[in-house]
Structure 1
């Protein structure tokens, strides 16, 4: 099975608002970028395989995502 490439961002609106194009602009992958919140809430499925690759383009307060991810990992370890 071929690994799936998924691209995520914390805000599609903010990603598209920058004057400098993001790293996936004008590529076949641009139309497949989804918001992290859609994965977390189950609106969009996450990875299907351990071999899948996820690119995350943070355009918001990346420190917030790090803190939230750390807390989620701590909760999952309990």
Structure 2
């Protein structure tokens, strides 16, 4: 025997709760900061003589106009390969 429904149906509504909203904002900010870090030409600068970025480290002696750059992607100093 089939029972008749009470007429009330369970409705599930996907609501953007404050916690989910904070999580989405944090993810968005993290992605923006990550993109900015990858595209940034220099993270650290010192008197136009030194700068360090994600990709390279450059030094320019005060007595010279030539800048010497090294890749930061190579193995770390002090480690033997």
Alignment TM class, shorter chain as reference: under 0.3
TM-score normalised by structure 2 residue count: 0.21
Larger-Rg structure = 2
**Greater RCO (Cα-Cα under 8 Å, separation 6 or more):** 1
TM-score (ref. length: structure 1): 0.21
